[in-house]
Amino acid sequence: MPEGDTVWNTARVLHRALAGARITSSDFRVPQLATTDLAGWTVRESASRGKHLLLRFSAPDEAHWTLHSHLRMDGAWRAYAPGERWSGRPAHLIRVVLRSPGAVAVGYHLHEMTLVPTSEEDQLVGHLGPDLLGTDWDPAEAVRRLTDHPAQTIGEALLDQRNLAGVGNLYKCEVLFLRGVSPWTPVGAVPDLPGMVTLAQRLLAANRGRWTQSSTGSLHRGQTSYVYGRRAQPCRRCGTAIRKEELGDRVTYWCPVCQPERPDTPAPG
């Protein structure tokens, strides 16, 4: 699931493959960048900001530029050795190819691809809240942003990247289970919001550097989550069947016993 830790990992893969290298050719397969040519540009670094990936370049005239992309639910970057077979996704999903003497970076089904001067990055990511895996992580600021909308459900608030950047549906469901909070609880009724955002940061940080996302501590198939993706399976704590419902424009998984509705919480559905 492309959440903050996955994007962080992807940025590291691209950084190891391309940082310091000069691009020998580029092939953009999106209308807005179809005529863009990055040949001769040098990759300065690859970085992540929440769920956004930022490839930063120096152009031959020393100007600094950033290639921004968003993975959403289905995007991916892969790095290959020159001559290696591209096996990441079907060819029709390729959106960009960046070649250097030592590596080829291929972006599949990327979204919101934009090339901007690095000084204008804030126009693309400046609205985001504190990055759970960033050097600017500030739990107090994340809590402040959450409490600005006390009537919003906590399930929706955790997914709002303007509050804290990096949490997706998987971590939302797992954090709420571990804190024993119903996804439909209004933010203003959630006990210990600082504890919740701290747990979210700890979960993402624990999965940083590996591709298997686990909130249980186990990396074995079928044992990595408490509730996410486990509809109708028994809760690992109480044995009650895990439920799945829509919340906003996303689905949510939860245990009705371990995450009881509070008196002021609307019933799901």
Which residues are known to be catalytic? 2-3, 51, 250
For 87, the token pair is 């096996």
Contacts of residue 233, defined as CB under 8 A and 6 or more positions apart, other chains included, come to 241, 242
Instruction: Write down the H helix ranges in 38-160.
Output: 122-125, 139-147, 154-159
Beta strands in the chain (DSSP E): 25-28, 42-49, 52-58, 64-70, 76-80, 94-99, 104-108, 111-117, 243-247, 250-254
* Residue 165 bridge partners (DSSP): 131
55 with 43: CB under 8 angstroms?
A: yes
Q: What is the DSSP letter of 33?
A: G
224 with 214: CB under 8 angstroms?
A: yes
Torsion angle, CA of 171/69/93/74, rounded to 10 degrees?
10
211 with 6: CB under 8 angstroms?
A: yes
For 203, the token pair is 């979960």
For 200, the token pair is 């979210």
* 108-139 burial: b if 16+ Cβ within 10 Å, else e: bbbeebbeeeeeebeebbeebbbbbbbeebeb
Distance CA 203, CA 70 (A): 21
